[in-house]
């Protein structure tokens, strides 16, 4: 597994008084192995949490679950003290905790029950839960 990370800061254009309406400081992690890619974003103001940005469809993670997904989540847990992974919610609620996103994908017919159980088990094991 190859790991790369890039710290970034995005901000609004300065107001006339020099203040900023918004600032996002984050670190993007890329995990690659045998042509597969996972990308997570860790926001500085949300310690202990990471958003899975790529891929968004949880069904695309099933073939990677036992390998790259487990390794990437364990790496984030060990090196960044991540205890919560959020994924895109199939019901359109944005990024939600892993179990909620898996349940939503299952309810929307995007995952089979066995695949959902595997994704839940892999993440629980990787994050020490």
- The candidate with the shortest Cα–Cα distance to 90, out of 74, 78, 107, is 107
Please tell me what DSSP assigns to residue 69. Answer: I
Parse the chain into domains and list their residue ranges.
2-14+21-126
Q: Which two tokens stand for residue 110?
A: 């995007």
pLDDT in tens, 2-56: 999 999 999 999 999 999 899 999 999 999 998 889 999 999 999 999 999 877 6
Q: How many CB atoms lie within 10 A of CB 16?
A: 5
Q: Which two tokens stand for residue 60?
A: 């695309």
Q: How far, in Å, CA of 125 to CA of 79, rounded?
A: 16
Please tell me what DSSP assigns to residue 91. Answer: T
pLDDT in tens, 49-101: 999 987 767 777 777 767 899 999 999 999 999 999 999 887 778 889 999 99
The CA-atom distances, in angstroms, between 62 and each of 7, 23, 77, 84, 110 are 28, 34, 20, 19, 11
């Amino acid at each position: 597994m190859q790991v790369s990370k890039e710290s970034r800061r995005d901000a609004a254009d300065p107001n006339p008084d020099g203040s900023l309406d918004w600032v996002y400081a984050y670190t993007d992690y890329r995990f690659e192995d045998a042509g597969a890619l996972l990308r997570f974003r860790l926001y500085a103001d949300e310690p202990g949490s990471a958003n899975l940005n790529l891929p968004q469809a949880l069904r695309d993670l099933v073939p990677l679950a036992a390998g790259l997904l487990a390794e990437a989540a364990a790496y984030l847990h060990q090196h960044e003290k991540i205890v919560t992974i959020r994924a895109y919610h199939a019901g359109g609620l944005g990024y939600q905790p892993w179990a909620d996103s898996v349940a939503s994908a299952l309810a929307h017919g995007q995952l089979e029950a066995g695949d959902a159980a595997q994704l839940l088990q892999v993440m629980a094991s990787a994050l020490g839960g």
